[in-house]
A and B are shown apart, each in its own frame.
Chain A
């Protein structure tokens, strides 16, 4: 197991290098002149040249990348915004909790819904519940998150007045000026609708996935063996089916969590949550390359970290992985 974890860890580091190279190349080398972008529209060529030197753009590409990587690893720095000169790291630190609240809270909701519904649909295929679940799945997959978000905000937030319809409140209580609300209760209240939007979006996919894997596992020979031993259907489900059918779910969950952290743009926009998704859109439209790259790198790291967690979880769930790879 230890050897497995170490091997996976090396892979994670390798992936991190590849991902940062890709992010760096895409956003710093392809545009014609980052210095001009950084200098602003009214800059003279002399100023652009000076900025170019300050940003080390006159160095060879591999040295630039090395500096970028070194600053990131050694100083934890992702550079400074072209627009307002703020450190990108600070922006991410400020916006990441919003997105993380959204994604992790949403994940709890969508799993809490889709695991039982998926299992029941699988156990009673073609039943009324299964068919209703499929309709729900179809809506969830077809509908756009903005539409779902707006409908929820209108019905639950506005018409019924049950929840706030916008803004984020930090989880940790804060009394500083400019923070209108904070604390666990307000945080929770403000997140309910975004979480439900996320839940509808992802639960749809997960109900389908879980239904499919449970049905597949139920038809496995070892399930028949367990029944031939005299195990009850409940015991067969819990002891023999679930662990085996959760393997693909864990894989997909790891990827989805990582990806969602990179930007839950639509949901954040609908509910005015100032998270990474919104930040990314703002930065992209104002050519704020360091911010875009920073968020991208953050998303890459998130994906890599979750993949690593998934690999370890997978090895824990499935002894075949642990011992063979």
Chain B
């Protein structure tokens, strides 16, 4: 049984201007101890999907579909029952560590709160566990830093505190919503390495929400690419990098920075992410797709398996041969770029 299994998840927001379809028919599953990378631009529905899973959206959000956690349906569960799962069996960390901690409470208080909410222990024991977890996320002098306030920590240190807080009750899954986006590059690498190590030690599953395919390549086992509130490609990480099937994924791969001295300009995907209030008809990516034809503008492509690898799913109307030809060209271009850097 998968640890988490999401089927046909829909999330909508009723606004004054109309209904925003933030998540439309998303399905995936994740096994214990595995890492799922979720990639997409801002507004692709990747964060909303997992806020829905955690039950952290506002009451105005309308959701449907199914989210099974360890076999139990948790979508639409009462707040009281959901609270026992959140922070206990499911931990979540967020993009901006500078604003994700309460500025007027000590770090220790905030960690202890997480312990006391789910365990019948006294404050002393909660504090002991808090110091232990801070040491585990490599915060120096944890026993004194615990009495500091968040503003006395740097961004990277705060993200470590957030990770510590999410892991303090040994959750089975950690949902990380762009955990490194707000950090500088060297800190990013440290945090990713830390998460990788903690995943091994705690034997937990990780959902890594990111717009950075580099992060996915480093950590993920499975990848889903989201666009306009839908899953547009879903594959094992090796298969995705070996043969991406969907033009949007090609664009994402092309915009990855490489150490390249000759080509100074990165490839970019032209245009803007689609409006979720008035999405384009047909394939949501068609206004920005270099290969779009009439059918793309009329009919939404179904999620279908790739020719060689049936677990690799994607949405695209282009024929298999044409996609294979374009991918071969793209791959050659990427290799040339990488080669010229060497």
In the bound complex, how far is the Cα of B56 from the Cα of A229, in angstroms? 11
* Size of interface on B: residues with Cβ below 8 Å to A: 31
A76 contact set on B, CB distance < 8 A = none
B86 contact set on A, CB distance < 8 A = 227-230
Kindly state whether residue B307 has any CB partner on chain A within 8 Å: no
Kindly state whether residue B197 has any CB partner on chain A within 8 Å: no
Kindly state whether residue A220 has any CB partner on chain B within 8 Å: yes
Say yes or no: A225 contacts B79, CB within 8 Å.
no
Kindly state whether residue B151 has any CB partner on chain A within 8 Å: yes
Residues of B8-45 whose CB lies within 8 A of A: none
Say yes or no: A225 contacts B162, CB within 8 Å.
yes
Question: With A230-B83, A320-B151 in contact, is A224–B104 under 8 Å at CB?
Answer: no
Query: Which stretch (A103-111, A129-137, A237-245, A303-311) binds chain B?
Result: A237-245
Q: Which of A221, A228, A324 touches B54 (beta carbons < 8 Å)?
A: A228
Kindly state whether residue B207 has any CB partner on chain A within 8 Å: no
Residue of A nearest to B98 (CB): A221
In the bound complex, how far is the Cα of B56 from the Cα of A318, in angstroms? 27
Kindly state whether residue B215 has any CB partner on chain A within 8 Å: no
In the bound complex, how far is the Cα of B118 from the Cα of A139, in angstroms? 47
Residue of B nearest to A241 (CB): B102
Question: With A222-B99, A243-B104 in contact, is A229–B113 under 8 Å at CB?
Answer: yes
Residues 299-325 of A, flagged 1 when their CB comes within 8 A of B and 0 if not, give 000000000000000000111100110
Say yes or no: A318 contacts B94, CB within 8 Å.
no
Residue of B nearest to A230 (CB): B87
Kindly state whether residue A171 has any CB partner on chain B within 8 Å: no
B165 contact set on A, CB distance < 8 A = 225, 229
Kindly state whether residue B221 has any CB partner on chain A within 8 Å: no
Question: With A224-B56, A244-B104 in contact, is A231–B96 under 8 Å at CB?
Answer: no
A227 contact set on B, CB distance < 8 A = 56, 86
A324 contact set on B, CB distance < 8 A = 151
Residues of A36-78 whose CB lies within 8 A of B: none
B114 contact set on A, CB distance < 8 A = 229-230
Say yes or no: B162 contacts A229, CB within 8 Å.
no
Kindly state whether residue B153 has any CB partner on chain A within 8 Å: no
Kindly state whether residue A232 has any CB partner on chain B within 8 Å: yes
Say yes or no: A225 contacts B117, CB within 8 Å.
no
A244 contact set on B, CB distance < 8 A = 102-104
Question: With A230-B88, A319-B149 in contact, is A239–B103 under 8 Å at CB?
Answer: no
Identify which of A226, A240, A317 gathers the most chain B CB atoms within 10 Å of its CB. A226
In the bound complex, how far is the Cα of B99 from the Cα of A220, in angstroms? 7
Kindly state whether residue B92 has any CB partner on chain A within 8 Å: yes
Q: Which of A228, A240, A243 touches B56 (beta carbons < 8 Å)?
A: A228
Kindly state whether residue B132 has any CB partner on chain A within 8 Å: no
Say yes or no: A228 contacts B91, CB within 8 Å.
yes
Residues 159-173 of B, flagged 1 when their CB comes within 8 A of A and 0 if not, give 000100110000000
In the bound complex, how far is the Cα of B270 from the Cα of A247, in angstroms? 45
Kindly state whether residue B281 has any CB partner on chain A within 8 Å: no
B162 contact set on A, CB distance < 8 A = 225
Kindly state whether residue A286 has any CB partner on chain B within 8 Å: no
Residue of A nearest to B54 (CB): A228
Say yes or no: B79 contacts A320, CB within 8 Å.
no
In the bound complex, how far is the Cα of B117 from the Cα of A65, in angstroms? 63
In the bound complex, how far is the Cα of B152 from the Cα of A233, in angstroms? 28
Say yes or no: A231 contacts B56, CB within 8 Å.
no
Say yes or no: A221 contacts B117, CB within 8 Å.
no
Say yes or no: B79 contacts A240, CB within 8 Å.
no
Identify which of A231, A232, A319 gathers the most chain B CB atoms within 10 Å of its CB. A319
Kindly state whether residue B190 has any CB partner on chain A within 8 Å: no
A228 contact set on B, CB distance < 8 A = 54, 56, 86-87, 91-92, 166
Question: With A228-B91, A228-B92, A231-B113 in contact, is A323–B152 under 8 Å at CB?
Answer: yes
Q: Which of B83, B101, B104 touches A318 (beta carbons < 8 Å)?
A: B104
- Expressed in whole angstroms, the minimum distance between the Cβ of A230 and any Cβ of chain B is 3
- Expressed in whole angstroms, the minimum distance between the Cβ of B103 and any Cβ of chain A is 6
Kindly state whether residue B202 has any CB partner on chain A within 8 Å: no
Residues of B62-101 whose CB lies within 8 A of A: 79-80, 83-88, 91-92, 94, 96, 99-101
In the bound complex, how far is the Cα of B117 from the Cα of A317, in angstroms? 24
Q: Which of B56, B91, B151 touches A319 (beta carbons < 8 Å)?
A: B151
Residues 200-233 of A, flagged 1 when their CB comes within 8 A of B and 0 if not, give 0000000000000000000011101111111111
In the bound complex, how far is the Cα of B162 from the Cα of A308, in angstroms? 36
Q: Which of A220, A230, A243 touches B118 (beta carbons < 8 Å)?
A: A230
Q: Which of B83, B91, B99 touches A221 (beta carbons < 8 Å)?
A: B99
A318 contact set on B, CB distance < 8 A = 103-104
A222 contact set on B, CB distance < 8 A = 99-103
B92 contact set on A, CB distance < 8 A = 228
- Expressed in whole angstroms, the minimum distance between the Cβ of A242 and any Cβ of chain B is 10
In the bound complex, how far is the Cα of B130 from the Cα of A229, in angstroms? 14
- Expressed in whole angstroms, the minimum distance between the Cβ of B101 and any Cβ of chain A is 6
Residues of A278-316 whose CB lies within 8 A of B: none
Q: What are 28 A-B residue pairs whose CB atoms fall within 8 Å in the complex? A: A221-B99, A221-B100, A222-B102, A222-B103, A224-B56, A224-B94, A224-B100, A225-B100, A225-B102, A225-B162, A226-B102, A227-B56, A227-B86, A228-B54, A228-B92, A228-B166, A229-B86, A229-B87, A230-B118, A231-B83, A232-B79, A239-B113, A244-B102, A244-B104, A318-B104, A319-B149, A320-B151, A323-B151
List residues of B whose CB falls within 8 A of some A CB: 54, 56, 79-80, 83-88, 91-92, 94, 96, 99-105, 113-114, 117-118, 149, 151-152, 162, 165-166
Across the A-B interface, the 4 shortest Cβ-Cβ residue pairs: A230-B87, A229-B87, A221-B99, A230-B86
Other 7 A-B pairs with CB < 8 A, given A229-B165, A319-B103, A319-B149 = A220-B99, A221-B99, A228-B166, A229-B114, A229-B117, A243-B104, A318-B104
